[in-house]
Structure 1
Amino acid sequence: MQLTIELDETLNRLTAEFKSSPEKVSQAIRRTMTKLSRFSERQVLRELSRRVSVSQALLKNLGRVKVTLEPPGRHGNNGYQVVIWVGLSAIPAHYLGNPRQTRSGVRVGRRFWQGAFLLQPVNSNHAMVFKRAPHWQHRKQISQRSGKVMWMGLPIEKQVLSIYEHAGDLLSALESHLLERFTTLLQQELNFAFNIEGG
């Protein structure tokens, strides 16, 4: 899911109003947009973390939030663009903490998956959380490790934490907040450019 904040009209109007000092305005706009992109990433990570009860560090490490600042001319845009991307893939349960098997399921941090169990796939170096599908049946399965035939309740499903339903609302809610922040930052940077930096 992606949100693109385009500010071409505002920036073009400002450049026209300060046409006697285009270089100062350009520098102020560049600094503003750089700060806005960093601010956007912090806000999206903080809010998504709060909504799904997952640490910001984990969301960042899994690459679920990416914010890029695209300069003028890229992809045909006239001005700067802040592109906010949120990955919607569910987070596998074993990333949420240290999974512990109990009699009735698997506990990972504060979350509990009733009826789940730990299983380490052949291509993984750690156990993952699985649960039998609602209409499972016993089936013969050849073990990839030992080559022996065994009976297993199949199919099984990897347990995950969905973030899909939170992402759309999150980006919609943040858009107006980010535009307000842009206005504040731009005022600060123009003040700095004309009254402090430029003398």
Structure 2
Amino acid sequence: MKLDLELDSTVDELIEQFHSAPEIVSKAIARSLRKLSRFAERRVLRELARQQNITQKVLKSLGRVRVSLYKPGDRASKHYSLVIWIGALDIPAHYLGKPVPSKTGVRTGRHFWEGAFLMQPVNATHPMVFKRRDDWQHKFQRSKKSGRMMWMGLPLEKKEVAIWHSASDVLRKLEPVLLDRFATLMEQELNYVFNIES
């Protein structure tokens, strides 16, 4: 899931207004966009962490939020482009903090999974949080080992935190905020280059 913010019309208008000093304006634009990309990353991490009740550190360590700034010529584009990408696959419970089992379930970070337990699958390096499924039934399928058709399957599901709806909500609310922030940053940067640097 990503938000691709095209800033071409806004940037072109600014260059047109200050056509007598295009180098100064392009320097101000570059600075504003760098600051905007850092602002966008902080904002997305904070809002997503708040909505999901997860720490920002976890989201960062999983690489779930990435903000890229592209200049004219990058990605075959003629304009500046700010791309915000959020990995929207569900986050397994064992990534949210150290799993702590109790009599009634398992706690990972700020989440509690009632009726869950820890189990380490054969191919895993650490225990994961599982829970018995209420609606489970055996499936009649072919065994990979023997090749025979048989009733098989485990009545377990790995516990995960869904992130898709929060991510789409965060991106939807962020777009107007970014455009306002960009206007503010451009004003500050143009003021700086024309009144302080020159």
Tell me the TM-score range normalised by the shorter chain: 0.7 to 0.9
Could you say which residue in structure 1 is the equivalent of 2:12? 12
How far is 1:29 from its partner? 0.5
Q: Does 1:109 align with 2:104?
A: no
Distance across 2 between alignment mates of 1:22 and 1:197? 15
Could you say which residue in structure 2 is the equivalent of 1:96? 96
* Residue identity matched to 1:187: E
Alignment of 1:127-166 (within 5 A): 127-136=127-136, 154-166=154-166
How far is 1:138 from its partner? 8.1
Secondary structure at 1:154's aligned position in 2?
coil
Q: Find runs of 4+ consecutive structure 1 residues off by over 6 angstroms.
A: none
RMSD: 1.8
Could you say which residue in structure 2 is the equivalent of 1:84? 84
Q: Does 1:66 align with 2:66?
A: yes
Distance across 1 between alignment mates of 2:39 and 2:193? 21
Given that 2:54 and 2:110 are in contact with CA atoms closer than 8 Å, whether structure 1 keeps it comes out as no
Secondary structure at 2:126's aligned position in 1?
coil
Given that 1:116 and 1:132 are in contact with CA atoms closer than 8 Å, whether structure 2 keeps it comes out as yes
Q: TM-score, normalised by structure 1?
A: 0.87
Alignment of 1:14-53 (within 5 A): 14-53=14-53
Distance across 1 between alignment mates of 2:138 and 2:8? 61
Q: Number of aligned residue pairs: give it.
A: 186
Given that 1:68 and 1:83 are in contact with CA atoms closer than 8 Å, whether structure 2 keeps it comes out as yes
Distance across 2 between alignment mates of 1:137 and 1:11? 59
Change (3 A) 1:64 1:20: same
How far is 1:187 from its partner? 0.5
Structure 1 range deviating more: 24-33 or 127-136: 127-136
Distance across 2 between alignment mates of 1:114 and 1:49? 22
Given that 2:8 and 2:80 are in contact with CA atoms closer than 8 Å, whether structure 1 keeps it comes out as yes
Q: TM-score, normalised by structure 2?
A: 0.87
Secondary structure at 1:4's aligned position in 2?
strand
Given that 1:132 and 1:153 are in contact with CA atoms closer than 8 Å, whether structure 2 keeps it comes out as no
Which structure is higher in strand share? 1
Could you say which residue in structure 2 is the equivalent of 1:75? 75
Q: Does 1:195 align with 2:192?
A: no
